Amino acid sequence: MTTTLELRQPAPLDLTGYRLGQPQRTGRLTVVPLFGPAYPGIGSPAAVKLARVVGYGKCLMSNAGDGVAIVPLHVGYIQDAAQNHALCRSAFLAPGQELLFADACCVQQSQGGYISDRGHGLFVLPVELRAAALDLRGVENYSKLWPAITALNTSYGLPARGHLEQVLTRQHAVLTQFQSRLELLPEQLGALLFIGECLAGIEIAPDPRYFAEMWVALVCFAYGPAARHAGPVDESVVPYDVSTVDELRLALAEDRRAVAEQTTRWLAEAPWQVSSIEETERFLDLRLSTVHGDGVAGQVVTDGQRLVYASLFSRELA
Amino acid sequence: MLTHELTGFVTHLQTPTEPLRIRRSGELAWPDEQEHASAYAADPVGYALLALVPGVPPSQRARVLLRILDSSWAEFPVETRATLNRVARVLTLGLPATACVPVMLALRHRRANHKHVTRALLRLLLEHPQADSLIGSHRAVLVACFEHALGKATARGCAKSLTDDESTVDLVRPLLRFAPSPMVAIDRVRALYTPGAAGELAAQPPPVPAPLDLDLDGERPAVVTATNRGDIAATLVHLFRGGYSADLRLAVDRMVTAAAATLPAFPGTLALVLDQSASMRGYGEREWAVLSQAVALREVLARRCARLDVVSVGGPDTPRGATDLASGVLDALATQPDLVAVISDGYENTNPGDLARVVATLPRIGVTTPVVFCHSAYSHSDDLTLRRPAPAMPQRPFWHQEDFGQLLLWLLVQTRHPDSGRWLREALIARLSIVEESVR
């Protein structure tokens, strides 16, 4: 069984030291935990705050932490009686810095009001919307994501409007169960996420604390909705063809090995062809780059060849 | 006691079913009468006690009451008669009064005139907490049953004497010796034979009191929080939140000892697969709640089981890791237990379906040890739809400390040890005493 992470693309990235854990599965969502070397000095994503919304589609972000912050890609904010917003790109924020994201997007068509600082929920855009959001980075138009949200709602059998709340809020109780259905492991700093057999995303954080803070937003809201709507799984119970308890143990272990190998095969066969990696921002030795390709998109942070952060996702699910 | 097919018969008793019905012809509609008759014939006391197993619905408890009252006890030893009488008493007072009506009517139609029938009929009228409202709604039936119990002439003589101030009839021997409260008895018999009296009351009917609590359900909070689900779990929540102190630790030990003293014993070997994976911690307002109740149960079981082997899945010091329940069950079976109980929030992710598949395989390879699933929930209203990793397994949720007694009895029912019938019988007799305490 392969336990090291061997990505064919994007290259050239140094993934030395990363290894895969035993897959966890619930419904149509499979998560392969990822372990590896932590990159020191990156601030907590919890310190990245939405300071205020200065206008529809314009979010002023701040970093209240001690270290440089990597703004999580496609992070969004929810608040009752206010227009929910999401960011279309990542960025670096130095400690104490404020940065205006003028290319953010509204995700709640027909809802008025600005998000205030009285507390808000955090999410990451559903994977089906992420390619559209990334492609629209730099475009200053608060309603730019509504067509994609409308299409997503339609595909889920929900009313056709640019209202992401129909997914995130009204299905909140079911989606938040994903944080219990799949469990974060000690020292885990990333994950491969599959919807059915499709590689839906690769999420790698600088360190386990960063990943833990983003875990709920990722598993519940970025990948949970797609998993929930991916159809039922076969729940038939077929007893093992064994004759002793020892044989049963072996059969169970063999099954687990087969699942791990299956995910490794899905990873290898994923139709992700990176065509280019475009540097977008830099902070000292850190580089934020946007990944372009067939079947894959996302952003990565590197220090030389060393991978620090990655949020890559499938375009196939869009 | 009913060692043959005990689990199956208890499952039958716990299955919701139609209430007993008396047709206009007087015929009793009782589709499963044969099952009850066979069980009663095999072990009258054991059968009667099974009505006290938690979760048996009133419709089945009424059947048990009818079965034991309908037969003669004359050939039974004194101890057997005494126990049957005790069970009949708590069932009569613990069933909703309306559920007793078809039982009493059936006894009348079958002309059952044993002394224990007389006592039961009068108990319903004179002692049942809901008898006042029953007199208002079922007067004719109650009059018929009252007259069947005492004999028509005696019953009417008693009633007449209660409405005639100058009567010198002795009411003690025929009626009041059956009444723990003579004044209540006199009022009820008067109301029974005074049409309209209940109607006057009905203009502003008082709330109908609850019958005896046969399930010993205890009081549950209307609004559930992490710390109002029983003393042990509440204290553990504070410990888990980081509020460690020697006082809290000592308090847990004291509370566990006190709680265990009231619970049935499990005289066999129990293997516990305790889920301590990351999800057991929970989040938000439920944080630590599910784990604390699971740990509380483990502590109580440690005091009530002859031997308890605990296999941790995840953890063990803090909730962490994935949920591999299937391997936990195999490890638990290696301890040669009488029963394996999985305690989990129900989120199985390594891999979903493994537990169901392993448990389904066990009988095929000669492993007959029962494996059951105990859902550690936050409240009575938890949605367990996505939390049933092996739907075919016997399973029961628990969320409050008051659930432990019921859960332990259920575990005894699931056990297939040769002595499990005796264990259950002893536990139910102890439970009978606790139920009786509440009406003394």
Report DSSP letters for A79-144, one per residue: -TTS--EE-SS--EE-TT-EEEETT-EE-BTT------SS--EEEE--HHHHHHHHHTTT---TTT
| A257, part of any domain | yes
pLDDT in tens, A20-41: 999 999 999 999 999 999 999 9
| pLDDT of A82 | 83
Please state the domain count of chain B.
Answer: 2
Q: Do A247 and B365 touch (CB under 8 A)?
A: yes
Full residue range of the structural domain in which residue B96 is found? 6-202
Q: What are the residues whose beta carbons fall under 8 Å from the beta carbon of A86, sequence distance 6 or more?
A: A74, A75, A76, A77, A104, A105, A107, A123, A125, A133, A145, A164
Q: Do A239 and B364 touch (CB under 8 A)?
A: yes
Same domain for B141 and B31: yes
Q: Report the run of H or E that residue B290 belongs to, with start and end.
A: helix B289-304
pLDDT in tens, A134-182: 999 999 999 999 999 999 999 999 999 999 999 998 899 999 999 999 9
Contacts with B, A 231-260, CB within 8 Å: 233, 235, 237-240, 242-245, 247-249, 252, 255-256, 259
Q: Which residues in chain A are contacts of B323 at CB distance < 8 A?
A: 183
Q: Do A237 and B356 touch (CB under 8 A)?
A: yes
Q: Tell me the nearest-neighbour CA distance from B419 into chain A, angstroms.
A: 26
| pLDDT of A235 | 87
| pLDDT of A5 | 61
Distance CA B176, CA B170 (A): 9
Q: Report the run of H or E that residue A309 belongs to, with start and end.
A: strand A306-314
Cα nearest neighbour of A26 on chain B = B349
Distance CA A123, CA A204 (A): 17
| A96, part of any domain | yes
Q: Name the pTM for this structure.
A: 0.89
Domain CATH number, residue B413: 3.40.50.2300
Same domain for B243 and B168: no
> Which has the closest alpha carbon to A270: A202, A191, A188?
A202
Nearest CB to B349 within list A24, A248, A255: A24
Tell me the average pLDDT of chain B: 92
Full residue range of the structural domain in which residue A286 is found? 19-111+119-230+253-314
Q: Tell me the nearest-neighbour CA distance from A170 into chain B, angstroms.
A: 16
pLDDT in tens, A88-113: 999 999 999 999 999 999 998 877 88
Q: What are the residues whose beta carbons fall under 8 Å from the beta carbon of B320, sequence distance 6 or more?
A: A185, A186, B276, B277, B278, B314
| pLDDT of A8 | 56
| pLDDT of B194 | 85
Give B284's DSSP letter.
G
- Helix ranges, B363-416 (H): 404-414
Task: Give me the interface pTM, i.e. the ipTM.
Answer: 0.90
Residue B258 touches partner A, C-beta closer than 8 Å: no
Distances (CA, A) of B391 to A69, A234, B364, B386: 46, 14, 18, 10
Residue B315 touches partner A, C-beta closer than 8 Å: no
| A239, part of any domain | no
| pLDDT of A137 | 97
**pLDDT at residue B311 is higher than 70:** yes
Q: Which residues in chain B are contacts of A25 at CB distance < 8 A?
A: 349-352
Residue B277 touches partner A, C-beta closer than 8 Å: yes
Distance CA B219, CA B212 (A): 13
Distance CA B262, CA B5 (A): 28
| B76, part of any domain | yes
Residue B367 touches partner A, C-beta closer than 8 Å: yes
Which residue carries 């940065």 as its tokens?
A99
Sheet order of strands, A98-101 included: A48-55, A58-63, A98-101
| pLDDT of A7 | 57
* CB A199, CB A266: distance < 8 Å: yes
pLDDT in tens, B50-91: 999 998 999 999 999 999 999 999 999 999 999 999 999 999
Selected for mutation to probe chain A from B311, B317, B320, B365 (highest A CB count within 10 Å) is B365
Q: Tell me the nearest-neighbour CA distance from A22 into chain B, angstroms.
A: 8
Same domain for B195 and B59: yes
Residue that wins the pLDDT comparison between A18 and B439: A18
Same domain for B238 and B154: no
- Burial track B290-324 (b if 16+ CB lie within 10 A, e otherwise): bbbbbbbbbbbbeebbeebbbbbbbbeeebbbbbb
Distance CA B115, CA B69 (A): 9
Same domain for B46 and B163: yes
Instruction: Kindly indicate the confidence band of residue A4, based on its pLDDT and cuts at 50, 70 and 90.
Output: low
